[in-house]
Amino acid sequence: MQNYDLATGSLRELNETLHAQNHNTNQTAWEIENPKGAHAIACGLDAPIEVTVKGSTGYYSAGMNQQATVNITGSAGPGVAENMMSGKVVIDGDASQYAGATGHGGLLVIKGNASSRCGISMKGINIVVHGSIGHMSAFMAQSGNLVVCGDAGDALGDSCYEARLFVRGSVKSLGADCEQKEMRAEHLEILKALLAESESDAKPEEFKRYGSARNLYNFNIDNAY
Amino acid sequence: MCGIVGLFLKDKSMEPELGALLTDMLITMTDRGPDSAGIAIYGSEVPDNAKLTVQSDTPETDFLDLKSELEKAIQGGLKIRVQSTHAVLEIQADQMSKARIALKSIRPNIRVMSTGESLEIYKEVGLPKDVASRFNLKNMSGSHGIGHTRMATESAVTTMGAHPFNTGIDQCLVHNGSLSNHNSLRRKLRRDGVHIETENDTEVGAAYITWKMQQGSSLGEALESSLDDLDGFFTFVVGTKDGFGVVRDPIACKPAVMAETDQYVAFGSEYRALVNLPSIGNAKIWEPEPATVYFWKH
C-alpha cells in the first residue's frame, strides 16, 4: 500500500506520481490522506491501480479515468469522473453537479445523492446512484445506462439520444422528448448486473425505464421559432 | 467565478473566533476571486446608537478632524474607529440621517459602505489575504458574517464594485454569478427613484431587494420574487441583523455547499472553504436546492 498525504505533499506531485504508473506497476494500491476538497485529485489516471481518497474532494476528481479504480470515502465536488473512459469510480458520500458528464465508459457509483446534471451528455458510461439525482440529469445523454435507486429531479433525459435511464422512485418531470419505455427482459439483465456490481440491494423489477421518444432526431419545421 | 463564504454562529461562545474563522474561509476562496474582497460582520451593538461604515481613497486627509467637524455639523457626539481606508462612525440613531447629509457636504469623496446597528462592511480591491490583513479581520468578533472574493465579469474592479452590498439597514448581499437583465432593471429602478451608483450587476440585485422590501415585502418574499424578476445566474447569500439566508437561481450552476452543526451554519462556494471549521467531520453537509430560499435566524 502506497500512502500519500496531501497535507504535506503537493497535488501536482501526487498526480504526476499516479500518472507514472503503467500496466506493469507493482504499486497497485494507493491511499490519499487529507484531500480537504482539493481540485483534480487522481485525475487522468491510466493504469490498473486502486486509489482510495480518504475524505471529500473538490472539482473534477478522477476525471478522464482509464482502467483505475478510485474510491472517494467522503463526498465529491462538481464534475467527478467527468469524461471517464474505463475503470470504476465509487463515491461513498454525495456527488455535486455534472457527475460522470460526457463519460465514454467505465462505472461510476454514487452511494449518496447526486445533484443537478448527473450524466449530462453521457456517451457510454454506466452510472449507478444509490440515492436521488437533481434536475436536468442525462441531458443529451447519448449512450450508456443511468440507474437511480431514489428519485429524479426536473427535466430528466431532456433531448436524450440512446442512453437508458432507470429510476426506481419518482421522476419530478421528464425533459423534452423523453418518455417512459417498456422494461424488457434484456433491460432487467442489464440492471441486475449493474446493481450487483455497485453493491445496491435494489431489485431490477422495482425500476421504470425512460429513454428518447426520438421525435427530435429529424428536423421538424413546427419546432422552429 | 467569485467565491462566497458565510458563517452564522448558534454557539455564543464562538463569537470571538468569528473573524478568524471567516478570514481563513475567505482566503481559501482566493483563486475564485483574486481581484477584490469584502466582509460583512455583525458585531456588537451599542444601545441607541447606529453605525455608519464609510470608505475613503485618501483616508489620511478625509478622516483627519472628521469627528470634530461632523460633531459640529450635527451638534452631537459621535465615536470614530478608523480601520485603514474605512472608518466606523457610531452615531446616535436619531441623528443618522442628519449625519449622512452633513457628511456629503463636508467630505464629498467619502463613500458609505453600510449602515446598521450591528453591521459593518469592509471591502477593497486586492488579494483577499491583503484585504483581510488591512482591516485586521481575524480579530473581529460577531454573531455572523459573510465574505466575498471577486473575479469581476460585469463591471470594473473598484471598491464600489466589490461585495458585500448594503441593501438596507443591517442588511447585506453577496453574489456569485452574473445578471443578464441588470441594465433594464437598473433603468426601471432609477425611474422609481432608487439610487444606483455603479454599472455593477450585483448592485442592481441588491437595490432590487431593498426596493421590494420598501414596497412591503419581507426579505424572504423579496428573495422569492428575485427568482422571477432577475435573469441570469446567481447564488445569493444575504445577511440581516439576526439572520442569514441563501438562494440560488433555478439552473443552479454556481456552486454552493452548506454545513450545519449544533454550533454553526456555514456556507462556502466550495467544500474547501469549510474544511478547517470545528467538527466539520461531524457536520451535516449538503448542497442547497435550486430556486429555494433558505434562512436561519437567532
pLDDT in tens, A49-106: 999 999 999 999 999 999 999 999 999 999 999 999 999 999 999 999 999 999 999 9
* Closest CA of chain A from B235, distance in Å: 15
What pLDDT, on a 0 to 100 scale, did the predictor assign at position B154? 82
What pLDDT, on a 0 to 100 scale, did the predictor assign at position B168? 85
Measured CA to CA, the distance from residue A14 to residue A42 in angstroms comes to 8
Q: Is B291 on the interface with A (CB under 8 A)?
A: no
What pLDDT, on a 0 to 100 scale, did the predictor assign at position A30? 98
B229: left (phi over 0), alpha (psi -120 to 50) or beta: alpha
Which of B48, B52, B45, B47 has the alpha carbon at shortest distance from B66? B52
Q: What sections of B63-172 are H helices per DSSP? A: 66-74, 96-106, 128-134
Task: Give the list of residues 6+ apart from residue A149 with CB closer than 8 angstroms, or none.
Answer: A128, A129, A130, A131, A168, A169, A200, A202
What pLDDT, on a 0 to 100 scale, did the predictor assign at position A21? 96
Q: Which residue of B lies nearest to A37 if distances are taken between CA atoms?
A: B272
Q: Chain B partners of A94 at a C-beta cutoff of 8 Å?
A: 285-287
Measured CA to CA, the distance from residue A21 to residue A2 in angstroms comes to 12
Mean pLDDT of A174-202: 98
| Environment class of B104 (CB within 10 Å of its CB; exposed 0-12, middle 13-18, buried 19+) | exposed
Number of helices followed by number of strands (H, E) in chain B: 8, 16
Joined grid coordinates for residue B131: 484585504
What pLDDT, on a 0 to 100 scale, did the predictor assign at position B219? 84
Mean pLDDT of chain A: 97
pLDDT of A223 above 80: no
Sequential pLDDT tens for chain B (298 residues) = 899 999 999 999 999 999 999 999 999 999 999 999 999 999 988 888 999 999 999 999 999 999 999 999 999 999 999 999 999 999 999 999 999 999 999 999 999 999 999 999 999 999 999 999 999 999 999 999 999 999 998 889 999 999 999 988 999 999 999 999 999 999 999 999 988 888 899 999 999 998 998 899 988 899 999 999 999 999 999 999 988 999 999 999 999 999 999 999 999 999 999 999 999 999 999 999 999 999 998 8
Q: pTM for the complete prediction? A: 0.93
pLDDT of A225 above 80: no
**B81-114: pLDDT as tens digits:** 999 999 999 999 999 999 999 999 999 999 999 9
- In chain A, domain spans: 2-214
Mean pLDDT of A204-219: 94
- In chain B, domain spans: 3-44+127-297, 45-117
Whether B287 sits inside 8 A of A94 (CB atoms) is yes
Q: Chain B partners of A60 at a C-beta cutoff of 8 Å?
A: none
Which residue has 455535486 as its cell numbers? A96
Whether A75 sits inside 8 A of B270 (CB atoms) is no
| Cis peptide bond upstream of B164, omega within 30 | yes
Query: Do residues B19 and B138 touch, judged by C-beta distance below 8 A?
Result: yes
Query: Do residues B23 and B138 touch, judged by C-beta distance below 8 A?
Result: yes
In this complex, the residue of B252, B271, B290 whose CB is nearest that of residue A58 is B271
At the top level of CATH, which class does the domain B45-117 belong to? alpha beta
Helix (H) or strand (E) run with residue B145 in it: strand B144-150
Pairing mode of beta strands A164-167, B36-42: unpaired
Rg (alpha carbons) of chain A, rounded to whole number: 18
What pLDDT, on a 0 to 100 scale, did the predictor assign at position A189? 98
What pLDDT, on a 0 to 100 scale, did the predictor assign at position B198? 85
In this complex, the residue of B251, B270, B289 whose CB is nearest that of residue A37 is B270
Active site annotation includes B2: yes
Mean pLDDT of A127-142: 98
At the top level of CATH, which class does the domain A2-214 belong to? mainly beta
Strand, helix or coil for residue B237: strand
Which of A160, A124, A114, A108 has the alpha carbon at shortest distance from A139? A160
Joined grid coordinates for residue A45: 489516471
What pLDDT, on a 0 to 100 scale, did the predictor assign at position B181? 96
What pLDDT, on a 0 to 100 scale, did the predictor assign at position B92? 94
Q: Does domain B3-44+127-297 sit in CATH 3.60.15.10?
A: no
**B118-154: pLDDT as tens digits:** 999 999 999 999 999 999 999 999 999 999 999 998 8
In this complex, the residue of A37, A96, A135 whose CB is nearest that of residue B290 is A135
Q: Is B287 on the interface with A (CB under 8 A)?
A: yes
Q: SS3 string of A171-204?
A: ECCECCCEEEECCCHHHHHHHHHHHHHCCCCCCH
What pLDDT, on a 0 to 100 scale, did the predictor assign at position A210? 98
ipTM attached to this prediction: 0.91
Task: Give the list of residues 6+ apart from residue B181 with CB closer than 8 angstroms, or none.
Answer: B230, B231, B232
> Which B-chain residues 247-286 have CB contacts (< 8 A) with chain A?
251-253, 255, 257, 270-275, 285-286
pLDDT of A195 above 80: yes
Rg (alpha carbons) of chain B, rounded to whole number: 18
Whether A36 sits inside 8 A of B275 (CB atoms) is yes
In Å, what is the CA distance from A210 to each residue of A157, A197, A202? Answer: 8, 21, 18
Which residue type, as a one-letter code, is found at position A57? T
What pLDDT, on a 0 to 100 scale, did the predictor assign at position B195? 86
DSSP A218: S
Pairing mode of beta strands A69-72, A88-91: parallel
